Structure 1
Amino acid sequence: MGKSKPRTRDRARHRDNPAGKPAKPPSDPELAAIREQRILPILKDLQSADLKTRSAAAGAISNIIEDTKCRKLLLREQIVRILFEQTLADSNLEARSAGWGILRNLALEEEADFCIHLYRQDVLTAVDGVVKTIIQTISSPEPQFSSVPKAEQNLVWNLTSSIVNLLTSLSEAQEEIVEAISRFSSIIQFLFGLLSYDLATVDIQYEALSCLTALTEDNQPLVKNMVENDDWINILVQIKDGADLRAVAACGVLHNIFTSMEWFDHNTEKEGLSDAILIPTLTKALSQPSTQDTVTNINSSASSPEDILRLALEITASIATTLQEALQHGSGHEKEFEVSDDKIEADGDDEKMHDDDNDEELGQEDEDIEGEMNEEEMDADMNLVIGNDPDADDSSVEELTLDRLIRNATPQVLQLARSSPQLSGNNESIQSLAISALNNIAWTVSSIDFSTGHLDSIKDFWSSLTYNIWDEVISPVLASNTADIELASSITSLAWAVSRSVQGSVNLKPEEQRKFMALYKASKDIHNANGLSNGNKKQTIDESSDAFQSLGVKCIGVLGSLALDPAPIELNKEIGIFILTILATLPETQPAEAVEALNQIFDIYADKAYKFDEPVFWGADFHKHLEEALPKVKKMAKSIDKRKYVELRSRADEAVLNLGRFLKYKRTERQAD
Structure 2
Amino acid sequence: MGKEVRKSAKRRSNPLGNRVTSGVQRGLDEQQPTLQSDQVLPVVQKLSSQDATERAWSAACISNLVLSNTANLKLLLSKGIVAQLIKLLGDDSREVVEESLGTLRNICSIDPAVCHEYFAKGILTPLSAMLPQISHIIDLVLKDASLADEADQDRRTSIWDVAENFIYIIWSLSETSDNYIKAINRLNIIAFLISFLSAADQCPTKVVIAAGQCLTTLTDDNKDIYIEFQNHPDYIQTMLNILDKFDSPEKILVRVLCCAILMNIREIVQLSGSWDDERDAVEELNRKFMPILISSLDFDIQNAANECKVAIDSGNVTRHDESTEITPKPKQPLTQQDIYINNTIERLTTLQLSLELLSNICLQDESDEDGWEDSDENMDEAEADGMADKLTEDNIDEYFNDMEKLGGSSAAVEENALRSSPVINMFTVEVFPRLIQLSTPTVLSFPQNPTLNFGVTPSLALTHQRALECLNNFFLAMNDIPSQFWFKEHVEEAKRTWSWLFSTANTIGSAPESQDRNDLLEIIVGCLWALGRGLGQNIPLEPSHVPMLCAAFTASSIDSMRVKIVGTLGPIATRQGDISTNKDIGVFVMDLLGNLCSQRSQVDVVVEALNVIYDTYSDCAFDYDEPVYVQGNFNNRLKQLLPLFKSMVKSVDRRKNFDLRARCDEALMNLVAFIKYKATERRS
State the TM-score bracket (shorter-chain normalisation).
0.7 to 0.9
1:239 is the counterpart of 2:242: yes
Q: What is the aligned partner in structure 2 of residue 412 from structure 1?
A: 434
Aligned-pair CA distance for 1:663:
2.6
The CA deviation at 1:563 is 1.5
Aligned to 2:352: 313
Task: Indicate how the Cα distance of structure 1 residues 613 and 353 shifts in structure 2: closer, same or farther if over 3 A, else same.
Answer: farther
1:217 is paired with a residue whose SS is coil
Matched residues in 2 for 1:368 and 1:55: separation? Answer: 77
Percent of counterpart pairs with the same letter? 23
Residue 195 of structure 1 corresponds to 197
2:531 matched residue in structure 1: 498
What whole-Å deviation, never above 9, does each CA across 1:557-584 have from its counterpart, x for those lacking one?
1111211244633322321222122223
Q: How does 1:43-192 map to 2 (within 5 A)?
A: 43=47, 47-49=49-51, 52-66=53-67, 67-85=69-87, 87-112=88-113, 114-140=114-140, 144-145=144-145, 152-185=155-188, 187-192=189-194
For 1:514 and 1:71, the matched residues in 2 are separated by: 46
- Distance in structure 2 (CA, Å) of the matches to 1:129 and 1:563: 64
Report the Cα distance in structure 2 between the residues aligned to 1:162 and 1:623, rounded to whole angstroms: 64
Confirm or deny: 8 A CA contact 2:134 2:163 kept in the other structure. yes
Report the secondary structure of 2:36's partner residue. Answer: helix
The aligned residue for residue 555 of structure 1 is 565
What's 1:638 paired with? 650
> What pairs with 1:265-344 in structure 2 (closer than 5 Å)?
267=278, 274-290=285-301, 291=304, 304-321=343-360, 323-324=362-363, 326-328=365-367, 330-332=368-370
In 2, Cα distance between equivalents of 1:142 and 1:655: 63
The question of whether the paired residues in 1 share the 8 Å contact of 2:487 and 2:534 is answered with no
How far the C-alpha of 1:205 sits from its partner, in A, is 0.7
> d(CA) in 1 for partners of 2:117 and 2:100?
17
Task: Letter of the 2:97 partner, please give it.
Answer: R
Change (3 A) 1:605 1:325: farther
Contact 2:137 2:155 in 1 (8 A): no
Shift of 1:206: 1.0
Give, in angstroms, the shift of residue 587 of structure 1: 0.8
SS at match of 2:134: helix
Letter of the aligned partner of 1:570 in structure 2? S
Q: CA deviation at 1:200?
A: 0.8
The more displaced of 475-484 and 200-209 is: 475-484
Q: Which moved more, 1:305-314 or 1:512-521?
A: 305-314
- Hey, what does 1:618 align to over in structure 2? 630
Unaligned segments of structure 1, at least 5 residues = 10-28, 337-351, 371-379, 528-546
**What displacement does 1:468 show?**
3.2
1:33 aligns with 2:33: no
Does the 8 Å CA contact 1:642/1:649 hold for their aligned counterparts? Answer: yes
The TM-score with structure 2 as length reference comes to: 0.74
The aligned amino acid for 1:308 is: R
Taking only aligned residues, the RMSD between alpha carbons, in angstroms, comes to 4.3
Name the structure 1 match of 2:260: 255
Residue in 2 that maps onto 1:402: 424
Kept in 1: contact 2:573–2:585 (CA 8 A)? yes
Residues 1:272 and 1:234: Cα distance change in structure 2 (over 3 Å): farther
Cα shift readout 1:527-547 (whole Å, capped 9, x = no counterpart): 7xxxxxxxxxxxxxxxxxxx5
User: Residue 96 of structure 1: CA displacement?
Assistant: 2.6
The structure 2 residue matched to 1:3, chosen from 2, 7, 30, is 7
Inter-partner Cα distance in structure 1 for 2:380 and 2:210:
54
The secondary structure found in structure 1 opposite 2:278 is coil
1:267-312 Cα offsets, whole Å, 9 max, x none, are 2686875234333323223221243999x99x99996423432443
Aligned-pair distance for 1:599? 0.5
Which range moved further: 211-220 or 426-435?
Answer: 426-435
Asked whether the equivalents of residues 639 and 675 of structure 2 are also in contact (C-alpha less than 8 Å), the reply is yes
Partner of 2:476: 446
CA–CA separation in structure 1 for the residues paired with 2:111 and 2:442: 34
CA distance in 2, matches of 1:260, 1:395: 26
Q: 1:667 to 1:77 in 2, by over 3 A?
A: closer
Q: Distance in 2 between matches of 1:95 and 1:309?
A: 34
Cα distance in 1, alignment partners of residues 295 and 353 from structure 2: 14
Q: Give CA deviations for 1:18-73 in whole Å, capped at 9, x if unaligned.
A: xxxxxxxxxxx962331355443x436xx344x55554444344333324455445
- Structure having the higher helix fraction is 2
506 and 252 in structure 1: CA distance in 2 versus 1, 3 angstrom threshold: farther
8 Å contact from structure 1 (residues 209, 253) kept in 2 = yes
Match of 1:393 among 412, 421, 428: 412
Which consecutive residues of structure 2, in runs of 5 or more, have no partner in the other structure? 1-5, 14-33, 270-274, 309-334, 447-452
Q: Is the 8 A contact 2:219 2:225 kept in 1?
A: yes
Q: Does 1:519 align with 2:556?
A: no
Query: Alpha carbons of 1:306 and 1:501: their partners in 2 closer, same or farther (altered >3 Å)?
Result: farther
- CA spacing shift, 1:390–1:428, aligned 2, 3 Å: same
CA distance in 1, matches of 2:460, 2:287: 23
| Matching of residues 582-601 of structure 1 within 5 Å | 582-585=592-595, 586-588=597-599, 590-601=602-613
How far apart, CA to CA, are the structure 2 residues paired with 1:617 and 1:600?
A: 13
Offset of 1:262 from its aligned partner?
A: 4.9
TM-score by structure 1 length?
Answer: 0.75
- The correspondence for 1:564, drawn from 556, 574, 585, is 574
Bigger mean CA deviation after superposition, 217-226 or 227-236: 227-236
AA aligned opposite 1:606: S
CA distance in 2, matches of 1:553, 1:309: 31
| Residue 146 to residue 577, structure 1, CA distance change in 2 (3 Å) | farther
Instruction: Flag the 1:432–1:364 CA change in 2: closer, same or farther, 3 A.
Output: same
Shift of 1:130: 1.8
Q: Mark the CA change 1:620 to 1:479 in structure 2 (over 3 Å): closer, same or farther.
A: farther
Structure 1 residues 88 and 269: alpha-carbon distance in aligned structure 2, compared to 1, 3 A threshold: farther
> CA 1:650 to 1:390, structure 2 compared with 1: closer, same or farther past 3 Å?
closer
Q: Do residues 573 (structure 1) and 583 (structure 2) align? A: yes
Q: Is the 8 A contact 2:171 2:213 kept in 1?
A: yes
Question: What amino acid sits opposite 1:275 in the alignment?
Answer: N
Q: Deviations over 1:593-637 (max 9, x none)?
A: 221111111112223443433444335443343333333333332
CA distance in 2, matches of 1:498, 1:101: 47
Q: In the alignment, what sits opposite 1:434?
A: 464
| Deviation sequence 1:243-276 (CA, Å, 0-9, x none) | 3354335434533542454589962686875234
Secondary structure of 1:366's aligned partner: coil
> Quick check: 1:671 aligned with 2:673?
no
What whole-Å deviation, never above 9, does each CA across 1:615-663 have from its counterpart, x for those lacking one?
4433544334333333333333234444554433332222121111123
* 8 Å CA contact 2:137, 2:156 repeated in 1: no
Shift of the 661–131 alpha-carbon distance from structure 1 to 2, 3 Å rule, reads same
Which of the pair has the greater relative contact order for Cα pairs under 8 Å at 6+ separation?
2
**1:467 is aligned to 2:495:** yes
Query: How many residues matched?
Result: 590
Mean alpha-carbon deviation: is it higher for 124-133 or for 622-631? Answer: 622-631
